[in-house]
Structure 1
Amino acid sequence: MNLIDLAQEKGLHPKRTSSHGGGEYHSACPNCNDGKDRFTIWPNETSKNCTGRYWCRQCEIKGDSIQFCHDFLGLNFSEACRKLSVSLPGFHKTSTFLQPIVPPLKLASEPALAWQEKAEMFVEWAHRQLQLNPTAISKLYERGLTENAFKQFTLGYCPKDMWRSYDDWGIKAEAKENSNLPKIWLPQGLVIPWISPEGKVLKINIRRLKWFEGDKYGKYIKTPGSMNCPAVYGDVSSSMGIILESEFDAILIQQEASDLVFCVATGGSCQPMDLSTDFLIRKADCLLFCPDVDQAGARFWSRLQRRYTNGLLWPAPIGKSPGDAFKLGINLREWIKKSYERRSDA
């Protein structure tokens, strides 16, 4: 039995894409469930204890065939070795898996100047469109956001699906390869830009209004060429920071408690951290971790916990996220304040 067999047992459908390393296969990732080809399998590559290696270029989970058995098939070390017919000299039944290695962080580069110029024009246009569309405004009101928040964070609305040339936006070849679409897709939906303190548009995420359960495209679409890092909202010199998934939740918390906390929104449970954001996070006296209350959020928390050991798990007190809690009547400002009490009791 090899790693391809294990992947199929997990319900994956690996497709051979290259002869590199004795054969390279791609499939959806069993960890982040992102895309159909982000998970790479090399079934014939030899690692320290066995044959077979895997890596997801989205969530960066990686390991060998033994680790796959442990992480995705629920086997302990001994069971994994028996399943793979692996015999390790000096192995004892009490052996355990090593703690997963925390992958090194990368320095995220700002988008090309051409991208920033096009993005700025789009964001300003979308902001004007929002003011003309009562339905889009009502969607933001439903999230608890006020008109002041719309203006402060330049939220917008794209009234129809639009397509733009990669070349016009200064997109490099490797970014094109990471997209399955022939052009930049700006879908109909709520536009969430991330704008630096210097006024640069560095990232755009769009919440699709046409999304449906089972849609092959995501609920949120990050514009290709966006800076590959979390969005940071608020005063980073604050003593407290909170790491969470949703930009909308981060903006809502800033609306309610900007004097208490700055927010780091990853834009999803599997999105990467970068060196610059990591530096800002580590400067804070206190960190709160607020993963969504679901399976993806649990994996998100697991990764954060490995990287940051000085934080406090602080999920929404009710519902899946701070946005849900706000809709159900929770005062987010008081919720943040209660974390002070929890820290003092620790």
Structure 2
Amino acid sequence: MSLSDGFLDELRSRISLGQVVGRKVMWDQRKSQPGKGDLWAPCPFHQEKTASFHVDDRKGFYYCFGCHAKGDAISFVRETENVDFMEAIEILAKEAGMTLPARDPRAAKQAEARDRLGEIMDQAVRYFRRALSTGPGAEARAYLDRRGLSEAARDRWEIGFAPAGWQGLRDHLTGQGVAEKDLLACGLIKDSSRGGKPYDTFRNRIMFPIRDPRGRCIAFGGRAMDPEDNAKYLNSPQTQLFDKSVTLYNHGRAREASGKGAQIVVAEGYMDVIALGEAGFTAVAPLGTAVTEAQLDMLWRMSGEPVVALDGDRAGLEAAKRVMRLALPKLKPGQTLNFALMPPGKDPDDVIRAEGPEGMQKQLAAAVPLVDLLWQEETEGRTFNTPDRRAALDAALKTRLGAITDETLRYHYSQALRDRQRELFRPAPRPRTGATGRGFPPRLPSAALPLDGTRRSFLAAADEGATDRVREAVILATCLATPQVVGDFLTRLELMECRDPLHLRVRDAILTCHGEGDAPLKEAVMARLGPEALDELMARDHVALCPAVRDAGNLETAELTLEGELAKLRAFRGWAEEMAEAQEEIAAAETEAMTWRLSQAAVARDRAARQEQEDRAEYDQGDNGARINRAERGALDAILGAIRFSKTKKSADS
């Protein structure tokens, strides 16, 4: 079975070499730059400890500087899966959602037909370009002049013109021996619904050739010269050559430029792409429809963070939100979008003509990340002055975050949105009006200082955040010691803020590795972070002495430890946040409400501390790690003693 070059090129453009290789290797996070498609790992073809295996995800090639293995996605699958060429093609085609050509002679005929149709499309390009320079194209040339497109620019973009006649292109190409059925297959003519001769698809329109990544013309886009025309822009219909849902205008040039580090801009239409290109930028555009999932994948293969540049009106903003909603489930580290909304009433072409390339560069530099657009969509034009409205915002954001499938990224999005919520809900400080009614500013409660004779422990000698870090370490070590309980605490672990950088890395690794693969959790985390990180965590005294760590695998002890430490961590941090907010507000004016908030915060903190002390004073730990109430144990011992005494007395009497 033979495969056409077009099929293989489309297959390579649809798959990501980084994803294919990533199933077999562990990327070196320090050396790799996923956003640039620059990935490094230990070579899967020979034994090594250093990351000498390089993948250029944008160009689709790999190379090992140790054993000199090299190739593309097809050769990688062949070598790692031990399959032949066609089996490798089948594996990759299934992943890309493509259907293999039938294994019969018709496949070769179809490939030949595609090549023949491609040649006809090139003939049409030449016809339209000549028509632009003739008398009927005068109005189109004047329009392009007003848009600032020089003759050299028209040549670079192969812009042409379709005359107003009904059968000009048809007559020209059939006169050169092109069969009418082939013109229909190309989408260049249409059958008449009135029984007449087929007529030209494009009439009285400025024509833009649409080429695939290999540079072959596969379709046309036409802009109407008549303002009364029903369709301002018209694309070729779907054909053997063209599917607009998996095609980007200017894809080939953009892919080549992205390999040299160019930023990719996503515009709305042909003229925006051309204007951006003439100003020195690299742009692509979907073809008259909203961006599709396939087009997103194509964009991310060129750039980890393409900038979506849209018109500065309500329609442009809504288009940006549609792209955002489509992208959320597909986001991953190093694969996101930024959004640059043009000034009101302008598109990128308008900005460039008014302010030049420098003005456009400012707009792109001011592009906002996807998380900002998400926040804007959920909060714009709304107030959150009641608990009900704040709770509704919480629920809405939680739903939106649920669309993000990557756990690590979802956590960081959650943190970013929580920061914005905290800032939004914080009352604005009121101006100071002087001393309070009692004649002096309010005094905040101060922390009790240890007595001079107090033995300085780790916690007493450290900063006030040390207690939090101790609890973080105990929680993480317990998860690694008894991973069976992690599933019940995933949400709380995800929401746990880690003050220690090491703890943050370990927590994220636990969330990422949990439930993935067959390797034990601790080994998976160690493979991701290296043994040094876990050695540093587990070697700390307060971790090594923790019963849940010493008694690894004890589910009851692990559950009690996680329940208790997470609850205490939340209570103490809640107290700290409440105190910080209350201090900001009380600095402006003392009121009974502020005093009550401070007293309640102190009560909550004392309750958490008292609970910890009571746990030590009123409970013993059994041999199995379970907590035993001392009072209940004493009562049980008394009953057992009475029973033994009664038996002893009966024995003596007898």
Give the structure 1 partner of residue 287 of structure 2: 267
Matched, 1:308 2:315: no
CA distance in 2, matches of 1:168, 1:331: 44
Unpaired stretches in structure 2, ≥5 consecutive residues: 1-95, 101-110, 171-178, 329-335, 373-654
Structure 1 residue 320 displacement after superposition: 3.1
User: Match for residue 250 of structure 1?
Assistant: 273
Partner of 2:221: 205
Note closer, same or farther for the CA distance 1:307–1:159 as it changes in structure 2 (3 Å cut): same
Contact 1:161 1:186 in 2 (8 A): no
Compute the displacement of 1:239 (Å).
4.1
CA displacement 1:89-127 (0-9 Å, x = unmatched): xxxxxxxxxxxxxxxx97699994343222211111111
Report the residue type matching 2:232 in the other structure: K
- Separation (CA, whole Å) in 2 of partners of 1:188 and 1:169: 19
Cα deviation, 1:190-227, whole Å, max 9, x if unaligned, reads 00112345331022001011241xx4x31111122344
The aligned counterpart of 1:218 is: 231
CA distance in 1, matches of 2:286, 2:343: 20
Amino acid at match of 2:217: V
Secondary structure class of the residue paired with 1:331: helix
Q: Compared with structure 1, are the counterparts of its residues 257 and 172 closer, same or farther at alpha carbon in structure 2 (3 Å cutoff)?
A: closer
The structure-2 alpha-carbon separation of the partners of 1:108 and 1:129, relative to structure 1 and needing over 3 Å to count, comes to farther
Could you tell me how far apart the structure 2 residues matched to 1:339 and 1:255 are?
16
Task: Give the aligned partner of residue 340 of structure 1.
Answer: 365
Q: Deviations over 1:144-193 (max 9, x none)?
A: 222221111100111224445872236299x989x989655121110011
Instruction: Count the aligned residue pairs.
Output: 232
Match among 117, 120, 138 for residue 118 of structure 1: 120
Q: 1:323: which partner in 2?
A: 349
What is the correspondence of 1:1-346 to structure 2 with a 5 Å cutoff? 112-132=114-134, 133-163=137-167, 164=170, 167-169=181-183, 171=185, 184-196=200-212, 198-212=214-228, 215=229, 217-224=230-237, 225=239, 226-228=242-244, 229-231=247-249, 232=251, 233-234=253-254, 235-237=257-259, 238-258=261-281, 262-268=282-288, 270-273=289-292, 275=294, 278-308=297-327, 310-327=336-353, 329-340=354-365
Whole-Å separation in 2 of the counterparts to 1:271 and 1:162: 31
Q: In 2, distance between residues paired with 1:185 and 1:241?
A: 32
- Please give the TM-score of this superposition, normalised by the length of structure 2: 0.31
Q: Which residue of 2 aligns with 1:61?
A: none
Q: What is the aligned partner in structure 1 of residue 383 from structure 2?
A: none
* Structure of higher CA gyration radius: 2
Q: Provide the C-alpha distance between the structure 2 equivalents of 1:107 and 1:149, rounded to a whole number of angstroms.
A: 36
CA distance in 2 between counterparts of 1:299 and 1:219 reads: 20
Deviations 1:26-67 (CA, angstroms, capped at 9, x unpaired)? xxxxxxxxxxxxxxxxxxxxxxxxxxxxxxxxxxxxxxxxxx
C-alpha distance in 2, partners of 1:306/1:180? 40
Q: Which has the higher strand share?
A: 1
> Are the aligned partners of 2:309 and 2:340 in contact in 1 as well (CA < 8 Å)?
yes
Distance 2:296 2:166 in 1: 31
Tell me which residue corresponds to 1:96: none
Distance 1:166 1:271, change over 3 A: farther
Deviation at 1:317, TM superposition (A): 2.8
Task: For residue 168 of structure 1, give the secondary structure of its aligned residue in structure 2.
Answer: helix
Match of 1:9 in 2: none
Determine if contact 2:206/2:225 at 8 Å carries over to the other structure: yes
Q: Return closer, same or farther for 1:107/1:205 CA change in 2, 3 Å cut-off.
A: farther
Distance change in 2, residues 1:287/1:167 (3 Å): same
Which amino acid in the other structure matches residue 194 of structure 1?
A: I
The amino acid of 1:266's aligned partner reads P
1:204·1:223 contact (CA, 8 Å) conserved in 2?
Answer: yes
> 8 Å contact 1:203–1:227 — kept in the other structure?
no
Q: Larger relative CO (CA 8 A, sep 6+): 1 or 2?
A: 1
Cα RMSD (Å) of the superposition? 3.8
1:343/1:272 Cα in 2 relative to 1: closer, same or farther (>3 Å)? closer
1:161–1:185 CA contact under 8 A, matched in 2:
no
Instruction: Tell me how far apart the structure 1 counterparts of residues 208 and 285 of structure 2 sit (CA, whole Å).
Output: 12
Letter in 2 for 1:230: L
3-state SS, counterpart of residue 160 of structure 1: coil
In 2 relative to 1, CA 204–343 (structure 1 residues): closer, same or farther, beyond 3 Å? same
* Cα distance, 1:287–1:172 mapped onto 2, change above 3 Å: closer
CA distance in 1, matches of 2:204, 2:99: 28
Kindly indicate whether the alpha-carbon contact (under 8 Å) linking 1:116 and 1:202 is maintained by their aligned counterparts in 2.
yes
Q: 1:298 to 1:338 in 2, by over 3 A?
A: closer
Deviations 1:117-148 (A, max 9, x none): 22211111111222233322221122222222
In the TM superposition, what is the alpha-carbon distance from 1:255 to its structure 2 partner? 0.5
Offset at residue 241 of structure 1 (A) = 1.0
Query: Secondary structure of 1:300's match?
Result: helix
SS of aligned partner of 1:167 = helix
SS at match of 1:169: helix
Contact map agreement 1:108 1:275 (CA 8 A) in 2: no
Identify if the C-alpha distance between structure 1 residues 335 and 283 changes in structure 2 by more than 3 Å, giving closer, same or farther: same
- Give the structure with the higher percent helix: 2
| Alpha-carbon distance in 2 for matches of 1:254, 1:107 | 32
Shift in Å, 1:343: 6.8
Contact 2:279–2:352 under 8 Å retained in 1: no
**CA distance in 2 between partners of 1:106 and 1:180 (Å):** 35
Q: 1:211 to 1:113 in 2, by over 3 A?
A: farther
Q: Once the two structures are aligned, what percentage of the paired residues are identical?
A: 20
CA distance in 2, matches of 1:333, 1:106: 41
